[in-house]
């Protein structure tokens, strides 16, 4: 009896394993195809897209991107914006999170409600409004216009707030007793303790701003300020003038994915925790 049960679960185990393996192939294979086809010629990619090994290897697509398009500039802009936005979100998010979790001041509840309420508005309905304000403030077609509106993100505030609420007050209180100011305590006592939560915010912020598209569409039209998502979107959406040119598009998609992939594989565990942490109750 016992033995039979064992083989039954054993085979069930292998069925599950095979099923998951098949699913994993479905999830990974598209990216393999993307990479393979970016090294093909134009016609081979459109006629024999399924083959994993190009008949004629060519790096023409990558060369075109780097020498014949503004791709390097897009890449640089994406880096500039993502770094600035990440820095801002970490700093402002942790400050606000700390204040909301620890400091007692009048209006705290109101601010919390305000942050919650304003953030409840879905992003896509803000396209037109954001454009109007950026324009009124004279930030249109400037790096400030790309960066500043993204500098605060409520998920960061919440992650930090939750984190600060979960750690004991004792250490900070010791600092206060020693006569340290709030700012000093925050900077040299609280922040170092918050490293895990800060890492989560860093990852989510970088990912968020690296992958953001709609904000950049409405915040500028200057070709010098185009970032990767917008540049590639326009390239794919007709910027090539005519023809499909799949290798070129796939090469662009591959290159813009690489930084995220590196971040992902380096901080794999933390990323997966961060993304559940942002929602976890």
Q: Among residue numbers 61 through 80, which ones bind other proteins (CB under 8 A)?
A: none
Please identify which residue in 1, 53, 120, 170 interacts with other proteins, judged by CB under 8 A.
120
Question: Is 104 an interacting residue with respect to other proteins (CB under 8 A)?
Answer: yes
Q: CA 50, CA 42: separation in Å to the nearest integer?
A: 14
Q: Per-residue DSSP letters for 224-265?
A: GG--HHHHHHHIIIIITSSS--HHHHHHHHHHHHHHHHHHHH
Q: CA 278, CA 281: separation in Å to the nearest integer?
A: 9
Site for other proteins, residues 171 to 190, rule: CB under 8 A? 182-183, 186
Site for other proteins, residues 228 to 267, rule: CB under 8 A? 228-229, 232-244, 246, 249-250, 252-254, 256-257, 260-261, 263-265
Structure letter (DSSP) for residue 223? G
Min CB(239)–other proteins separation in Å: 4
CB 127 within 8 Å of CB 214: yes
Please identify which residue in 1, 118, 170, 177 interacts with other proteins, judged by CB under 8 A.
118
Site for other proteins, residues 133 to 162, rule: CB under 8 A? 133, 135-137, 140-143, 148-149, 151-155, 157-158
Of 16 and 174, CB closest to other proteins: 16
Please identify which residue in 165, 169, 221, 266 interacts with other proteins, judged by CB under 8 A.
221
Report residue 146 as tokens: 């790309």
Pick from 207, 208, 216, 195: which is nearest to 261 by CA?
Answer: 207
Give the angle 214-218-224 at the CA atoms, nearest 5°.
100
**Residue range at the interface with other proteins (CB under 8 A); choices 12-20, 55-63, 167-175, 194-202:** 12-20
Min CB(185)–other proteins separation in Å: 11
Q: How far is CA 29 from CA 32, 51, 280, in A?
A: 5, 12, 30
Site for other proteins, residues 185 to 214, rule: CB under 8 A? 186, 204, 207-208, 210-214
């Amino acid at each position: 009896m016992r033995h039979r049960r064992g083989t039954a679960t054993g085979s069930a185990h292998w069925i599950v394993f095979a099923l998951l393996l098949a699913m994993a192939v479905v999830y990974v294979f598209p990216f393999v195809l993307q990479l393979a086809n970016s090294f093909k010629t134009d016609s081979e990619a459109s006629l024999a897209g399924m083959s994993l090994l190009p008949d004629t290897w060519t790096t023409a697509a990558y060369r075109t991107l780097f020498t014949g398009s503004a791709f390097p500039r897009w890449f640089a802009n994406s880096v500039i914006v993502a770094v600035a936005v990440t820095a801002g979100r970490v700093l402002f998010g942790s400050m606000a999170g700390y204040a909301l979790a620890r400091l007692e001041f009048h209006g705290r509840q109101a601010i919390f409600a305000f942050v919650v309420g304003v953030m409840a508005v879905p992003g896509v309905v803000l396209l037109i409004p954001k454009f109007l304000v950026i324009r009124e403030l004279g930030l249109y077609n400037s790096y400030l216009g790309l960066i500043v509106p993204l500098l605060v993100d409520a998920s960061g505030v919440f992650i930090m707030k939750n984190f600060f609420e979960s750690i004991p007050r004792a250490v900070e209180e010791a600092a206060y007793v020693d006569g340290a100011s709030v700012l000093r305590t925050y900077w040299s006592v609280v922040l170092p303790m918050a490293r895990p939560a800060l890492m989560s915010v860093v990852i989510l912020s970088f990912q968020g701003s690296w992958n953001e598209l709609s904000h950049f569409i409405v915040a500028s039209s200057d070709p010098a300020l185009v970032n990767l998502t917008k540049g590639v979107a326009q390239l794919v959406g007709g910027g090539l003038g005519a023809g499909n040119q799949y290798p070129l598009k796939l090469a662009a998609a591959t290159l813009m994915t690489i930084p995220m992939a590196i971040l992902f594989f380096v901080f794999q565990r933390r990323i997966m925790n961060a993304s559940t942490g942002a929602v976890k109750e």
